[in-house]
Amino acid sequence: MPQKTSETPMMQQYQAIKDQYPDAFLFYRIGDFYELFYDDAIKGAQLLELTLTARNKNADDPIPMAGVPHHAAASYIDILVDQGYKVAICEQVEDPKLAVGMVKREVVQLVTPGTTMDIKAGAAKSNNYLAAVLALPSGYAFAYTDLTTGELKVTTLPSRFAVQNELAALSSKEIVIDPALSEDDQAAFKQGDRLLSVQPDTGAQAEASYVAQDLADADQVAVVERLMQYLLITQKRGLAHIQKAVAYQPSAFLEMDQDARANLDILSNSRTGKKADTLLWLLDETKTAMGGRLLKQWLERPLIDMVAINRRQQQVQALLDHFFERSELQERLTKVYDLERLAGRVAFGTVNGRDLIQLQTSLDQIPAVQDILLRFEDDSLTSLEKAIDPVSDIANLIRRAIEPEAPISVTEGNLILRGYNEKLDNYRDVMANSKQWLAELEASEREATGIHNLKIRYNKVFGYYIEVTKGQLANVPEGRYERKQTLTNAERFITPELKEKETLILEAEESATTLEYTLFQEIREQVKAQIERLQKLAAQIATLDVLQSFAVVAENQHYVRPVMHAGTHALDIKNGRHPVVEKVLGEQQYIPNDVVMDDNVDMLLITGPNMSGKSTYMRQLALIVVMAQIGSFVPADQADLPVFDQIFTRIGAADDLASGQSTFMVEMLEANAALSHATASSLILFDEIGRGTATYDGMALAQAIIEYLHDHVHAKTLFSTHYHELTGLETTLDKLQNVHVGAVEEHGNLVFLHKMLAGPADKSYGIHVAKLAGLPDDLLTRADSILSDLEGDQDVTTPHVAAVQVEETQPEDSQVEEETGQLDLFEPEPVQQNKSNPVLKKLSQFDLLTATPMDAMNLIYHLQKQLKK
């Protein structure tokens, strides 16, 4: 009975390896192909658009099979990893000629979304972060790394929400988790295509102990070790480029949650999801990939340290003041390749000759960069120059050793320069002399035989041979020529002399190729030993690149250096502009606005028509704050700013359909985040709070939020609203100020001034905005008629929101007429005596001191519903 396909030694080997990686596609090397079998083949053929075939089609149990050429495998692996899958690469790990039985195979690397080393050209300025989370009795230990650059950071976070926020900020595609992590946590952390990879504790590892040696917190050490265990298990090699873990606290930077980043379009456009029309897009004039990544990191974590902010701004000022030196610096930076990722490839063992030439080219620019920095004669830049190590010894090593036009392959020779190794030069001399000997042999054989088209050729199968066409076979001397191969139009021969020389030539070629690869590995190890120096240099060059980018943007966009102050939260911005809108519209078309809030003003209540620029005005302030606190200059004529610790936003309507939350619920959750966590040093932007529910509910909640912020939080707040009744709060809240966006009517048409003016808006202009949107004239005429009727009845039928306008208490013996015009049949009982009123009873029992802002808003909501009944 024939053996079943699944029982063959090869398929048994395949299944044994596949069982170790059940959650990954197994790329199983057979000759020049990587093969997929069973479900991997069926699913892989679908995802990669491969032809699905079968192994032993005529057998009783044909096995589904699909394959990709080994030289093209990287692109197929990228496709799978980009879609959130893991790929186990299984190679032959012994020479088939020496194998006894089945060729031994092993998985040499597990490629996952968080560990891919092949970065696409368009992603050169982006990090690829792998995160790790460990649940603690209170909070979470959290670490992240970029395998391509070696960056490693760790912190302790207080809540699940804080972990979600960090993951969103890092755009992490994969998280390493403990098997004991709760299902609720797993569901919260797995957003979109993010992959959760379970990693049990496998015990101490030398590499993990090394990178965690500077950490004092045991929980942080534990999460770093878990992350390193996963990397070592998946990558199956040393990770010398992973830097020592650096502990950080999110509160040591200006904090923004994922909603704030999205609302402000800092890193990606909230509408398109792309970089265009974002603050990153505006500020990115970096010349290196390292600088581009660092700029993103600075935008994710603006500073709150006044000294550090002022130092960056002084460096930008120096670069701005020296145009010619800055231009020379930019020219040098354009020739610097990605030092961080080149160092990573060296450590990973995937660096080739061309990579090393790129490294040398980059290092060759550093002495000139240092010289340029000294010419600025500025202490802030001189200190940067002193910190730079040019790593010139590595540049000199590569210059002496590696061919400038090195091939991509590192195993086929032509890598090492002549003069670097005497033994290699001798092999090359043998090969060069052999070529001359072959040319002389060909000439002498032609003369001896009279065969003028006789040729000496070589191929990998038959080696060297003499080729004679059919028409000249009669002239071939007998006895000395030994027939090697017969072709259609020629015969191939070998002679004793040629056979002997062939052995010498092939031995020299093989020895030279082997020696070249050995020498290349030695050079790679010498470079690897200096990875830490290369990474420090990369950090300095990246910093310099971002600073020059700020200077270029400041010069092109006419930005000013902001004055940062401590001890007061007053801010004063003269003719501020929204940086991105201005860049898109053009400087001449953008109308600037002041933002002035002294110590006596905590809140600006903004009214005005839709489309007039209220949201732009609010975002403008937040972006100016972010720019100032990353060290950039800002779009204004003058800016005097405090250092903010957090920014909270609630701008725009957005349902969270994935979790079944309405616009109003999302609105309340975002509002609660600010009410619960903001301090007097925070900045809050609330746009149209309360519009997601019924008018009076929304108005009541908006007023309650305003009062709570004013009385308890004291953060600088911009609050825009269409509830014009709320403008009366200026008379009762001493730190609230009304402002509005100007608009005028001309010949029945609305003209936006886009200018912020003192006081409240006189009307909302909603129908005028509808006209601008192109609604039919008949509809607009009808709407205007309905509005007139409603406004005519407003005094009779529209109730006022409690506490917006407090009327004087009437004398007890006076008759009070209700808004309906009817007299009360019974005199109202004084409030203090009406203890049976269930609304008042609930209100008197409510413990305001222990309640959260959301508790208060919920109470108001339910009380209002009860009153309406």
The annotated binding site for ATP is made up of: 608-615
Question: Which of helix, strand or coil describes residue 779?
Answer: helix
Cβ contact 211:243 at 8 Å: yes
Angle, to 10 degrees, between the axis of helix 289-300 and the axis of helix 339-348?
A: 100
The number of angstroms, rounded, from the C-alpha of 328 to the middle of its chain's C-alpha atoms is 30
Please give the single-letter amino acid code of residue 405: E
φ and ψ at residue 208, rounded to 5 degrees: -65, -40
The DSSP-derived string for 62-96 is: PEEEEEEEGGGHHHHHHHHHHTT-EEEEEEE-S-T
d(CA 305, CA 650): 26
Closest of 477, 478, 479 to residue 449, by C-alpha = 477
d(CA 197, CA 176): 5
d(CA 812, CA 821): 19
Return the DSSP state at 38. Answer: H
HEC per residue, 389-453: CCCHHHHHHHHHHECCCCCCCCCCCCCECCCCCHHHHHHHHHHHHHHHHHHHHHHHHHHHHCCCC
Q: Across the strands, what pairs with 196?
A: 175
b (16+ CB within 10 A) / e for 564-591: beeeebbbbbeebbbbbbbbeeeeeebe
Contacting residues for 478 by C-beta, under 8 A, at least 6 apart: none
Cβ contact 565:640 at 8 Å: yes
Cβ contact 28:14 at 8 Å: yes
Tokens 């008379």 sit on residue: 731
Cβ contact 133:223 at 8 Å: yes
Question: Which of helix, strand or coil describes residue 567?
Answer: coil
d(CA 115, CA 227): 11
Cβ contact 576:592 at 8 Å: yes
Contacting residues for 195 by C-beta, under 8 A, at least 6 apart: 84, 86, 112, 113, 114, 173, 174, 175
The number of angstroms, rounded, from the C-alpha of 356 to the middle of its chain's C-alpha atoms is 27
Question: Which of helix, strand or coil describes residue 243?
Answer: coil
Q: Which residues does the annotation place in the binding site?
A: 608-615
- Token code pair at residue 331: 């020219």
Instruction: Give the C-alpha distances (Å, rounded to integers) separating 841 from 806, 837, 848.
Output: 22, 6, 14
d(CA 414, CA 420): 13
d(CA 635, CA 574): 10
HEC per residue, 597-665: ECCCCCEEEEECCCCCCHHHHHHHHHHHHHHHHCCCCECCCEEEEECCCEEEEECCCCCEHHHCECHHH
Rg (CA), the chain: 37
Return the DSSP state at 712. Answer: I
- Other Cβ atoms closer than 10 A to 445: 22
d(CA 133, CA 181): 9
- Token code pair at residue 236: 């199956």
What count of residues does the chain have? 869
Question: Which of helix, strand or coil describes residue 156?
Answer: strand
